[in-house]
Amino acid sequence: MTKDYLGEFEELVLIMVGILQDEAYGNAIVQEIKERVGRDVMLSAVHVTLYRLEDKGYVKSYLGGATQTRGGRRKRIFRITNSGLALLRSIKESKVQLWKMIPQLNMNTGFC
Partner 1 sequence: MNRPPHWMLRILEWFCPPQLYEAIDGDLTEQFERDHLRFGRRIARLLLLLNVISFFRPGIVLRNKIGMRMINASMTENYLKVALRNIQKRKLYTLINAFGLSIGIAFCGLIYLYILDEASFDQWHSNKSLIYRVEERSFDTWQQDPAQPYRQSAWVQAALLEAMQSDLPEVQYATRFNADYHGIFRYQDKAFTEKITFVDSGFFRMFSFRVLNGNPEKFFHTTEEVILTPAIANKYFGDTDPVGKLVRVDCEGDRSYLVAGVIEAPPANSSLNFEILMPQQNRPHFASHVKQWGNFSTPTFVQLYPKATLQSLSLNMEKLTKKYMGDKLEKWRKESAIPVPEGAKMLEYRFTPLEEIHMKKEVSWYKVSDPQYSYILGAIAVLILVIACINYISLALTTSAARRTEVGIRKTVGAQGGQLLRQFAFESVMLAVISMILGIGLLALFLPYFNTFTGKGITWSGIAMPPFILAMLGISIIVGLIAGIYPALVLSGFRPSVVLKGTGTSRLKAGFTKPLVVLQFTASAILIICSVLMYRQMKYISTKDLGYHKDQILVIPTQTGWNVEADKMVERFRSRTLNDPDVISVAGTTTSFNQGFSRYGYKIKGEQKSAYVYGVDPEYIPTLGITVVQGRNFDRNIASDSLGVIVNEALVRDMKWSDPLNEHLNWREDTVGLGSPVIGVIRDYHFNSLESGIEPMFLSMNKKDVGYLTTMLVKIAPVGVSESVDKLKAAWKDVADDLPFDYTFLDEDVARQYQSYERWMKITGLATGFAVLISCLGLFGLSGINAVNRTKEIGIRKVMGASLSQIFVLLNRQFVWLSLIAFVFATPVSWMIIEKWFMTNFKFQNPVGWEVFAVSMGSGLFVALLAVSYHALQAALLNPAETLKHE
Interacting residues toward partner 1 by CB under 8 A: 25-27, 42-45, 47-48, 51-52, 63, 68-71, 73-76
Asked if 105 and 99 count as a contact pair (C-beta separation under 8 A), the reply is yes
- Rounded to the nearest whole angstrom, what is the least distance from the CB of residue 97 to partner 1 in the complex? 32
d(CA 17, CA 79): 6
- Rounded to the nearest whole angstrom, what is the least distance from the CB of residue 73 to partner 1 in the complex? 3
| Alpha helix segments (H runs only) across 1-112 | 8-20, 26-36, 43-56, 82-100, 103-108
User: Which lies closer to partner 1 via its Cβ, residue 18 or residue 26?
Assistant: 26
d(CA 82, CA 34): 26
* Length of the chain in terms of residues written: 112
User: Which lies closer to partner 1 via its Cβ, residue 78 or residue 80?
Assistant: 78
- Rounded to the nearest whole angstrom, what is the least distance from the CB of residue 15 to partner 1 in the complex? 19
User: Which lies closer to partner 1 via its Cβ, residue 68 or residue 104?
Assistant: 68
